[in-house]
Amino acid sequence: MVQEVNKSPKQSREGSPWKGLGAVIAKEMADHLTSARMRILEILIILTAAGTSYAALQKLVGSGSQNEFLYLELFTTAREPLPAFVGFLAFLVPLVAISLVFDAINGEFNQRTLSRVLSQPIYRDALLLGKFLGAFATLALVLTAIWLLVFGVGLIGLGVPPTGQEVARILLFLLVTVIYGGFWTALGLWFSTRFRQPATAALGSIAVWLFFTAFWEILVSLFAQGLRPIQYGLLEEVLARAKLEMFLSRISPNTLFVESTIALLKPAVRSLGLVLPFDLQGAILGAPLPVSQSLLMIWPHITGLLAVTIMIFALAYVSFQRQEIRV
Amino acid sequence: MDYIIETKGLTKKYGEFTAVDSLNLQVEPGEIFGILGPNGAGKTTTILMLLGLTEPSSGEVNVMGFDPSRQPLSVKSQAGYIPDQVGFYDDLTARENLAYIARLNGIPRLESDQRIERALGKVGLSDVGSKPVGTFSRGMRQRLGVADVLIKQPRLIIMDEPTQGLDPELVRGFLDLTRELAEEGITILISSHLLHQVQEICDRVGLFHRGRMVLQGTVAELARNVLGAGYHVRLRANGKAGNFAEDLRRIAGVVDVKYQAPDSYTLVAAEDLRSEAARAIVEAGGQLLSLDIESLSLDDIYNAYFEEVNHGPRGQ
């Protein structure tokens, strides 16, 4: 809590900030899992999973692919007009996350339940973290369910069991997806403490999502063109622009997610950055990397996603702790 | 005397605005104390500080032996709070709403089921306990609010504007319920701007005005201090040319006589002078048509007090 300079600064506040956390998480998850909102999302998600994996399956079986990582292709193969499963997730996960939390705090305000809940012997910390973890766990549950669904479709459709490598990679893929969802959950939660109207919070979160999904790439190339103009067509110029573009583009959590999934699901990818011909000296093209090496490649991405998630949660925390609860 | 609530110089400032100004409040165990005053007088802010939901700018607070801003959990586990227009999760049933509160209080499952039933029984909501709260009327919600604080078996209940928006019959029922709780030994602090509604159940009241508590005591004490005289006798009489004002004024103990309308008088006195007034009318050869005594109204006290404050003391 925001403590003012008061008579006994040594004395810290009593008890654990996590008292009641379990109760809040349980209530939040129960609410989410039974809500009409969740039903709609579930239908959307199951359609996506079934649709994309079926489409991918058709294409894989039809092409007689020789790839040794058939299972992974199930996630990344697209058949027009549908995007691949990963592509779908990149924009579906934020939507699900936002729709779970956009009214988390302001909803309690508007229902006038906040002061009643906070007059119980718990701290605000427990309420906010409980809201976050409740939504996060729901999201993880849903994603795991879809993941299992696609996995099952693969088992039936492909008729071959996945190798240990593949299982490890798609498990990591699930983990990265959940972390990506965590970022949007934190963002939605922050907006729900900042804006008193749930509609404003939802719109704000969706605006951020739209910004990164649709406009960021355009802005990035505009910036890159403006800041690193190619005047003479030199290699250095081209490189400098590409580097700047990459740097800017990785500010977007979407880019971090998509690059991570590419590294995980396409074992042959050995760099997410620029690859110059001399980098490839001695490399066996098309040879897959071990899981640990792919993971190493996206380690900064995961760290970045986690860091920005924690940062945004901290913003939500500060804004919530400072809020006057009177209606 | 150990007070259950005690504040010393409690002050809360929002920027330049002083919501509560050096408040010294003492509430004794087992009493019903009314914090009364118009909207914006600092009542809710005071309550939030008592519960540790808002930090005081300065001053000391002691609630049941704890400092709410340092030991909020201890205070909140023994003090129930019914906020202004109490809200519930509309999709959940009454029982589910209470069960959540029980879990937040760390009450074990078996124990909590019993407490929920007892609380719902107490407020008369047992048979609708499994209906979603969204279907409840205003009065039912208010009673559920009481059940909600009973779950933690509190020593102290703080109610903010509990009668606002209830029709008179529901107010009656609600006040009776409050009385019952007080008889069980629970100390109750009620805030309200509807002075006349809560005055009758309050053992003592504090009148708030612009962040300060300007008057404190029992209603009778306040009446004596502010109005000078506590009793208003209203009577109607006729049968005489002219009026009875002079006859009435001669009664010993009468402070003031107002001639309000033809045949209608109001007598202000320090004690109940009904029989003396009746005798005076009869002796003056008049016919007494009606005679009754007005109960003391906090509204009158409040208005009179501010008339005095704003326009200087009345000539008495």
Q: Where are the domains of chain A?
A: 21-270+287-322
Phi/psi at B82 (5° precision): -110, 100
Which among B42, B48, B288 has a CA at the least distance from the CA of B158?
B48
Nearest by CB: A120 against B45, B48, B76: B76
DSSP secondary structure code for residue A182 in this structure: H
- Which of A119, A325, A327 is the best mutation test for B, with the most CBs of B within 10 A? A119
Listed in sequence order, the residues at least 6 apart from A165 whose beta carbon sits closer than 8 Å to its beta carbon are: A69, A267, A288, A290, A291
Phi/psi at B244 (5° precision): -95, 5
- Which of A35, A120, A321, A323 is the best mutation test for B, with the most CBs of B within 10 A? A120
- pLDDT at position A151, please? 87
Q: Which domains does chain B have, with CATH numbers?
A: 5-217 (3.40.50.300), 231-295 (3.30.70.1560)
- pLDDT at position A134, please? 97
Strands laid side by side in the B264-269 sheet: B254-261, B264-269, B231-238, B287-294
**What six digits make up the tokens of B85?**
């227009």
Q: Is B86 on the interface with A (CB under 8 A)?
A: yes
DSSP codes of every residue in A15-82:
S-TTTTHHHHHHHHHHHHHHSHHHHHHHHHHHHHHHHHHHHHHHHHHHHT---S-HHHHHHH---TTS
Nearest by CB: A117 against B84, B90, B104: B104
With a cut of 70, which residues of chain A have pLDDT below it?
1-11, 64-66, 285, 327
Q: Is B216 on the interface with A (CB under 8 A)?
A: no
- What is the tens place of the pLDDT at every residue in B47-81? 999 999 999 999 999 999 999 999 999 999 999 99
To the nearest whole Å, the CA of A325 is away from the closest chain B CA by 7
To the nearest whole Å, the CA of A3 is away from the closest chain B CA by 8
- What is the tens place of the pLDDT at every residue in A242-268? 999 999 999 999 999 999 999 999 888
Q: What's the complex ipTM? A: 0.87
CA angle B83, B61, A128 (to 5 degrees): 50
Phi/psi at A324 (5° precision): -80, 135
Listed in sequence order, the residues at least 6 apart from A107 whose beta carbon sits closer than 8 Å to its beta carbon are: A192, A198
Q: Is B53 on the interface with A (CB under 8 A)?
A: yes
One digit per residue, pLDDT tens: chain B, 316 residues?
589 999 999 999 998 999 999 999 999 999 999 999 888 899 999 999 999 999 999 999 999 999 999 999 999 999 999 998 899 999 999 999 999 999 999 999 999 999 999 999 999 999 999 999 999 999 999 999 999 999 999 999 999 999 888 888 889 999 999 999 999 999 999 999 888 888 889 999 999 988 999 889 988 788 777 766 567 788 888 877 677 888 888 887 787 888 878 888 888 877 778 888 888 888 888 888 888 877 667 777 777 777 776 665 444 3
- pLDDT at position A26, please? 96
Listed in sequence order, the residues at least 6 apart from B131 whose beta carbon sits closer than 8 Å to its beta carbon are: B93, B94
Listed in sequence order, the residues at least 6 apart from A259 whose beta carbon sits closer than 8 Å to its beta carbon are: A250, A272, A298, A301
- pLDDT at position A67, please? 73
Q: Say if residues A140 and A98 touch (Cβ distance below 8 Å).
A: no
